Amino acid sequence: MSAIEELAAQGTGTSDQTEQHRDRPWRVIVWNDPVTLMSYVVFVLRRLFGYDLETATQLMLKVHNEGSAVVATEARERAEVTVAQLHAHGLQATLARD
């Protein structure tokens, strides 16, 4: 393999690694607060994510008992929209890299 072919191969590997790094999903985290009713958190999780009652309740209890819960794992752009929707419903939410 010539030096040029080796550099091209190295460049491709780096590009693939960068692409994989960029495509890694983001976690949407909902945080506990002392004001929001637990029933409302369940309502919002069901409405935004389509979770059934049991799943939404389990996530709400995790938020309540542990302080936070990952409610979705999505591509960055979609996760940003999801966080904005949660904020619009009065919930505290952030993004974190998976």
Predicted confidence (pLDDT) at residue 79 exceeds the cutoff of 70: yes
pLDDT band at 71 (very low <50, low <70, confident <90, very high): very high
- Helix residue ranges per DSSP H, 1-98: 3-23, 38-49, 53-66, 76-88
Question: Which residue matches tokens 């590009």?
Answer: 15
**C-alpha dihedral sign at 51, 54, 59, 61:** positive
pLDDT band at 2 (very low <50, low <70, confident <90, very high): low
pLDDT at 17: 52
Sequence-distant (≥ 6) Cβ neighbours of residue 13 within 8 angstroms: none
Residue 94 CA, chain-centre distance (Å), reads 8
Percent of the chain with pLDDT over 90: 74
Predicted confidence (pLDDT) at residue 33 exceeds the cutoff of 60: yes
Burial 51-61 (b: 16+ CB within 10 A, else e): beeeebbebbe
Output the CATH code of domain 25-97. Answer: 3.30.1390.10
